[in-house]
Structure 1
Amino acid sequence: MAPVLLTVALSVSVSAASAGQSRATRGEAAAVERNLATGEAALQDGLWSLAETEFRKVLEQSVPRPLENRAVIGLARALCGRGAYRDALEVMEKYRRLRRSSIWAARYRLWKAVALEGSGQPDEARRLLARVDAGSLSGADRAAYLLLQARLQLSAGKGKEALRLFEEFDREFSSTPAAPLNLFWWAAALQRLGLTNQMVDVLTRLVNDYPRSEPAARGALWLSRALAERGDRQGAQRILEELAHREDLPDDARAGAWLELARSAMEKGEYADAVKGASEAVELARSVSLQDSATWLRVRALVMLERYDEAATAAREWVGENLGRSGTDQRYREFAEFLRAHEATKYALEEFTHFLELFPQADAESVARAWLGKGWCLYSLGRWEEAAAAFAKVPLSGIPEELSAEGLLKQADALFQ
């Protein structure tokens, strides 16, 4: 009897374990389906980071090929959506087996082409897109196909064909997350064809209909410039001020708005407002080009306010942070020349002198202009002998003849004094 009971007990135990494993497997499968569903819903809403997270969770597990394929394409879409094109290419390379799939090949090639174009490889994207069976695409894939075709036509100089595709996208997919990007590039095509009024209309739609999108932030800057060129300075100012104070926008978008406000203030001679706008831009800017532009506009505005010490401090800090970078010496010399042009002679003399100490190996023309600038400052201050010595440092060869001649003439003039 005991063996029978033991057999029954073992059978019950094995059945229970199998049932437990089955429940665990069903639970894991349900979790994978939830990840996929959440990721795909996030794609529809343009929540790229959330979608990326969900698809990566799926790919970290061992799942059936059909589910893995959905996750791969979803991840590529999410990465392209947030502009991480090189990351998308790495994913596509890892799962390149999809290119041989009768079901997934078209979508694989499409999103790889999107990533190639986004990473600055339009010719490769064009060749790959030519192999995509467009008739097999639908929904978001067809939207991406149309937008990519339009952008490639635009980059190839075929503006009218690009316009046709942007308009087709707008008719079919104006409610998708890619709609703002389509409007932005549509405006670019209109600008290229010289259709300025239509460009302004499209940009206005972009800014009004999709105010919280990243393309709208860039489009708002563009629209403000277009309005200013048409004489609508109040409209341009309103757009920029709204953009500058939108804390939900990327820092660089807000920095760009502050920089445009500062430029406008400079043009109107409102130098205190220019300093304020440029200072805000410096604080917010993440891109190097924005930081540079804002820093030097602020420096120029400080000079116009005769706040020379602050201007010199800001200029020298920037130079110290950018030593060894191409163009740093030229920026600094131009600052010294700006000071001299605005009759801040003593300050200009200090900066020319500092330039010559910092950049003895600068190109011959820059060094010549610095010695001329220093000589002029000394001459203006009545320090004739020092001025003559500075002018004598201007080289006689390897620079434009007018600079050499100016150095010789001013040297003689200073000595005569």
Structure 2
Amino acid sequence: MKIRGIIVIGWWLAAAGLGLADAPVSNPPPVASQESLLITGKAALEDGLYDLARKQFEEFLRQADTREEKAEGTVWLARLLFEEKEYDEVINLLSRRRRWAEHTPHEADFAFLGARAFYEQGQYADALSLLNLYAQKLVNSPHNTASARLKARCYLNLQQYDLALMSFDQFDRAHPKLPEASENMLDWAATLIRLKRWDDARKILVRLINVHPQSESADQGRLWLGGLFLDNAQLEQARDTLLALVSQETLRPSLRSEAWFRLAGVYEAQTNLSAAIEALAKGIEATKDPQARFQSNIARGKLMIRNGQAEEGLAVLKESVMAMSADPKTAQIQLDVAQILLEQGLYEQAVVEFQHYLEAFSDTQGTAQALMGRGWSLWGLGRFAEAASSFEKAYGALTDSNARAEALMKAADSLFANRQYTVAEVKYRQVAAEFPSSPLKTQATYQTAECAARLGQPVEAERLLEEVASSRANAEMAGQALLRMGQLDEESGHWEAAMEKYQRILSSFPKGPHLARAVHALGLIRYRLGQFQDALNDFIRVVNEFPDNELAEQAFYMRGWCLYLQGRDAEALDLCQQFLTRYPRSPWAADVLFWLGEYAYNRGLFDEAEKRFAELSNAFPLAPMADASLFWAGRAAATQKEYLRAMEYFNRLTRDYPQSSRLPETRFAQGDVLSELGQFAGAILTFEEIISKYPGSGLVDAAWGRKGDCQFTLGKDDPKRYDEALTSYRMTCDSPTAGLDLKLQAEYKIGRCREKLGQNSQALENYMNVVYKYLQEKDKGAVGSSVWFTRSAFGAAGLCEIESKWKDAFNIYKRVVDADVPAAPEAQQRLDKLRVDHEGAI
């Protein structure tokens, strides 16, 4: 529809630019004056006499001499077509005659009518484009307020909620006293409610009620405000608001009844069931809608039962059934009451009422119906063995062949649901044998195969499924059988055999209901086998040919992975964006957002990564990766030096996901952020929590090190902190689980502590321990970071230089040069300087 609308607008503008118009209008001798024709046409249009109105407007057009007259006649003809809901004709007419309206007072009429026609056809983007194109002319026309309201509705339907809200606000500021102002505020509040912005909606509704207290919109607003209070468990406010509404004498009956019904919900939430029952009674009294009365009486009866008024409640239910039923006989009423309880999901009461019927009445047909109803009620309760017994008794009581087949089938289904596969198989075979012409025969054979599969009889299961697949009696079940055969092959890892079954569906049932699932299954298998392009083709077919199928979402999603795994990153990213636009609440949307965040993070696009991870955590708080998204959002923020924002993410993770497996690394990240913020005492506490609370975590060794870093930093104000830091670093050094780089880092930092404490000889020993350990591991082929080797070597050499041990310093620098690490050139420079400055000592 969108592309088509663009073409229409293009034609509209082209017609205006090229001077295209209808063929010249012939002008036969007038039979009435133009003024008379227009007056008559308008009156006929108002009275719904469209044929007469058309004649008057067309005659007016035939007599029109000027472009302004022709434009005016076209406007009225377009309004007539609009009333007849001929929206395409409206658009075509206005497009063809666009030139007539140029530079006339009717140019805004053309634009507004065209936009309304587009809107009514659901072409909201085209309507919006037209309103924007002629915005200035519309502002200065009688359509000013109506076009503004229409624009807001377009934004709403396009889900451009920010722009819709802005439109409501602008209208409110520009036209606060117009009659439409209250409707605008009501729409504004409705949009905020849709967006779950409860507080903002409440503010608008309160202002609506205060500014336009006598309007119908204000009454509706009071109803909604009460509902908002109720939804947010602000029960006293809800009660007071709704009570004030129902107290208005001039309130419309429909609003009054709805308010009482909502009050009943408030009282029910307050566990004041008596008041809820009374509120329902008053709502029933106020409404004229038979269905609303019926449903509310059912609700009232249920509340009575919950309130300990079982007899009264059932009486209300029975009375309601009698009021809606053409047959008020006692037996039928009993059945209807039981059936209502069943339909309402009140299975326990339904079982009782069906049993009451069975004990009180002996009508054969009613008995069978009660047995079936009792079976369904027991099924709803998960009491499958009892349900099977009730269904089988119904099978014995029924006389109609199809009904008997259904009852026996449900008995078998109940046994199957109870995992009594052997007995269920017997019943399914009985259905197939006793009712060979029943539509259920094929399904019974299929379920027999399912029993065989559950009983570990794959050969028999496949034989029975093949029987169903080869049957021409039920093409849908045949396709389902092939699909199940393919699934069983997949479960056994027989990919080629599974693909053969799915290919049979494609060739045998090219228009069957299982085609989409077969194509999709082929795509998933090919994806597993690494055949990404073939899988991509399958998923594209599902999306293009079956856009409304439930599998289209996953197929759209899998297309992105197929592209990515072929190295087509740009296409994959673009497709992911499309997926989120098309399926914003899809079960796979969270995965897509996480992947987009991960992709951006790994490429250093930390701002984009943070946005994606944050969007995931906000939109899908229950997703499996919601906690991880908060963690990575925090990491991305911290990388941008947005430490306070990072801490907010980490705090949300620890608060909202207390069982998350990411808590240790989250606490570690919090410690890092606190240290970046200069809150070293808090950081130390965080690292200590990791050490004590998560002793099995791989982060414990690093936590000791980071704790030492914080203590070291505090040492400049309190030298005792250096001793504490030394102890922390020593814990890392002595840990059997710490890696080489971590141990070397800790040893180096021990040296730094001792240097700060004036223990230079011991510091030199620590530094050289790092140097020798690194070189030993390097000789063994271990590849690690040279950072701590370099720093230790330079630190040791520096201490030697302080004590004028030039040769020792020279030898240390030479080890760095010989190690061929990135710092070797700098070491060479220092070595050369020593050679020049202290040649005699070296």
TM score, norm. by length of structure 2? 0.36
Deviation at 1:139, TM superposition (A): 2.5
C-alpha distance in structure 1 between counterparts of 2:748 and 2:713, whole Å: 15
Distance between the aligned counterparts of 2:725 and 2:688, measured in 1? Answer: 15
Alpha-carbon distance in structure 2 between the residues aligned to 1:397 and 1:241: 47
Letter in 2 for 1:274: A
Q: Is this contact kept in 1: 2:671–2:686, CA < 8 A?
A: no
Q: Distance in 1 between matches of 2:572 and 2:627?
A: 23
**Which one of the candidate residues 430, 435, 440 is aligned to 1:101?**
430
Shift of 1:56: 9.2
How far the C-alpha of 1:66 sits from its partner, in A, is 1.0
Once the two structures are TM-superposed, the CA of residue 338 in structure 1 deviates from its matched residue by 7.6
The CA deviation at 1:258 is: 2.7
For residue 106 of structure 1, report the CA deviation from its aligned partner: 2.2
Contact 1:251-1:284 at 8 Å conserved across structures: no
Tell me whether 1:394 sits opposite 2:696 in the alignment.
no
1:332 pairs, out of 652, 666, 685, with 666
Counterpart contact for 2:690–2:700, Cα < 8 Å: no
Asked whether 1:357 is paired with 2:689, we answer yes
Deviation at 1:186, TM superposition (A): 1.1
Partner of 2:541: 205
| Inter-partner Cα distance in structure 2 for 1:262 and 1:413 | 39
Matched, 1:301 2:636: yes
The alpha-carbon deviation at position 185 of structure 1 amounts to 2.3
Is it true that 1:59 corresponds to 2:376 in the alignment? yes
Distance in 1, matches of 2:448 and 2:571, equals 44
CA distance in 2, matches of 1:239, 1:214: 18
Q: Deviations over 1:228-275 (max 9, x none)?
A: 34343443233222221235x644223233333333333444333333
Is contact 1:252–1:286 with CA below 8 Å preserved after alignment? no
Deviation at 1:151, TM superposition (A): 2.7
Aligned match of 2:706 in 358, 364, 373?
A: 373
Q: 1:371 to 1:108 in 2, by over 3 A?
A: same
TM-score where L is the length of structure 1: 0.67
Q: Give the direction of change, closer, same or farther, for the CA distance of 1:184–1:304 in structure 2 (3 Å limit).
A: farther
SS of equivalent to 1:242: helix
CA distances 1:364-396 after superposition (whole Å, capped 9, x unpaired):
543222111222355467654443242134373
Shift of 1:91: 6.2
Q: CA RMSD in A?
A: 4.3
C-alpha spacing 1:142/1:197, structure 2 compared with 1 (3 Å): same
- Seen in structure 2, the aligned counterparts of structure 1 residues 376 and 165 have a Cα distance that, compared at 3 Å, is farther
In the aligned structure 2, how far is the partner of 1:108 from the partner of 1:182?
20
Q: Structure 1: which 5+ residue stretches go unaligned? A: 1-18, 36-54, 77-86, 117-122
Structure-2 change in CA distance of 1:251 and 1:280 (3 Å): farther
- 1:206 shift after superposition: 1.9
Residue of structure 1 in register with 2:461 after alignment: 129
Contact persistence 2:664–2:690 (CA under 8 A) = no
- 2 CA distance for matches of 1:204 and 1:410? 58
**Matched residue type, 2:637:** L
State whether residues 252 and 284 of structure 1, in contact with CA within 8 Å, keep that contact through their aligned partners in structure 2: no
Check 1:184–1:250 CA distance in 2 against 1; reply closer, same or farther (3 A cut).
Answer: farther
What CA distance in whole angstroms lies between the structure 2 residues aligned with 1:334 and 1:323?
15
Task: Return closer, same or farther for 1:58/1:378 CA change in 2, 3 Å cut-off.
Answer: same
Deviation, structure 1 residue 331: 3.1
Which moved further from structure 2: 201-210 or 92-101? Answer: 92-101
Q: Whole-Å Cα distance in 2 between the matches of residues 378 and 174 of structure 1?
A: 72
Q: Give the alignment partner of residue 516 of structure 2, picking from 180, 183, 194.
A: 180
Contact persistence 2:450–2:461 (CA under 8 A) = no
**What secondary structure is seen at the aligned counterpart in 2 of 1:221?**
helix
Rounded Cα–Cα distance in structure 2 between residues aligned with 1:166 and 1:349 = 64
**Alignment CA distance shift 1:214-1:203 (3 Å):** same
Q: CA deviation at 1:309?
A: 1.3
Q: Mind listing any 5+ residue stretches in structure 2 that lack a counterpart?
A: 1-326, 344-371, 378-390, 433-440, 717-721, 757-842
Q: How does 1:8-407 map to 2 (within 5 A)?
A: 59-60=376-377, 64-69=403-408, 90=417, 93=420, 96=424, 98-101=427-430, 103=432, 105-111=444-450, 124=456, 126=458, 129-130=461-462, 132=464, 134-137=466-469, 138-246=474-582, 250-285=585-620, 287-325=622-660, 327-332=661-666, 335=669, 344=676, 346=678, 350-351=682-683, 353-357=685-689, 360-364=692-696, 365-379=698-712, 384-394=722-732, 396-400=734-738, 402=740, 403=742, 406-407=745-746
Q: Does the 8 Å CA contact 1:244/1:255 hold for their aligned counterparts?
A: no
How far apart are 1:198 and its partner, in Å?
A: 0.9
Residues 251, 189 of structure 1: CA spacing in aligned structure 2 closer, same or farther, 3 A cutoff? closer
Larger gyration radius, structure 1 or structure 2: 2
What is the rounded CA distance, in whole Å, between the counterparts of 1:89 and 1:415 in structure 2? 75
Asked whether the 8 Å contact 1:169–1:182 carries over to 2, the reply is yes
Relative to structure 1, the CA distance from residue 368 to residue 344 in structure 2 (aligned partners, 3 Å threshold; closer, same or farther) is: same
Q: Give 1:279 deviation, angstroms.
A: 2.3
Distance 1:374 1:198 in 2: 53
In the TM superposition, what is the alpha-carbon distance from 1:296 to its structure 2 partner? 2.5
Question: How many pairs align?
Answer: 350
Q: CA separation of 1:112/1:144 partners in 2, compared to 1, >3 Å: closer, same or farther? A: farther
Shift of 1:202: 0.9
| Alignment deviations for residues 147-166 of structure 1 (CA, whole Å, 9 cap, x no partner) | 22223323433222222222
Alpha-carbon distance in 1 for matches of 2:484, 2:659: 39
Letter of the 1:90 partner, please give it. Answer: A
For 2:688, give the aligned amino acid.
L
Query: Measured at CA, do residues 307 and 409 of structure 1 come closer, stay the same or move farther in structure 2, by a change above 3 Å?
Result: closer
The change in CA–CA distance for 1:107 and 1:280 in structure 2 (over 3 A counts) is: same
CA drift of 1:316 comes to 2.5
Quick check: 2:687–2:707 contact (8 Å CA) kept in 1? no
Residue 124 of structure 1 deviates from its aligned partner by 4.7
Provide the C-alpha distance between the structure 2 equivalents of 1:376 and 1:89, rounded to a whole number of angstroms: 64
State the AA in 2 paired with 1:328: R
Distance 1:88 1:379 in 2: 71
Structure 1 equivalent of residue 749 of structure 2: 410
